[in-house]
Amino acid sequence: MPTLIKNPSVIEAAGNKPKIIKEYIGRVNSKTAAVSVAKMESPSGWVEPGQTPEFDEYTLVLKGTVRVTTKDGVLDVNAGEAIIVHKGEWVQYSSPGPEGAEYVAICLPAFSMETVHRDE
């Protein structure tokens, strides 16, 4: 039988400014360890600590720009574009544009504090 998710859980985000994370599917809201699906709303100038996660992260930008910084360089992912960051890669996300960013993040397996490995 299908599982209907009526409401997300709002989760505290890391970073220099308040960011809204609404987890629909994942370890917190649906007790799903296989995958997490969350809608993110980050303000202009938001930057989170770098991380080396044990999961693949698929990001679809709905509005604004998400800046993805890796050891290989910097990519600006704009509305209508997507990016895949593979597990084991160091990455840092930010929203440098004046309008911030709204995006969907899908992590496989699901995001967890134990497997994100944020920088100190």
Ranges of beta strands (E only) in 31-115 are 36-42, 46-47, 56-70, 73-78, 82-85, 91-95, 101-108
Cα three-residue angle 53-14-55, rounded to 5 degrees: 15
Q: pTM of this prediction?
A: 0.96
Using the CB atoms, write b or e for 52-90: b if 16+ within 10 Å.
ebebbbbbbbeebbbbbeeeeeeeebebeeebebeeebe
- Sorted by where each starts, the structural domains of the chain and their CATH numbers stand as 23-116 (2.60.120.10)
Instruction: Give pLDDT tens digits for 77-91.
Output: 999 999 999 999 999
% of the chain residues with pLDDT over 90: 99
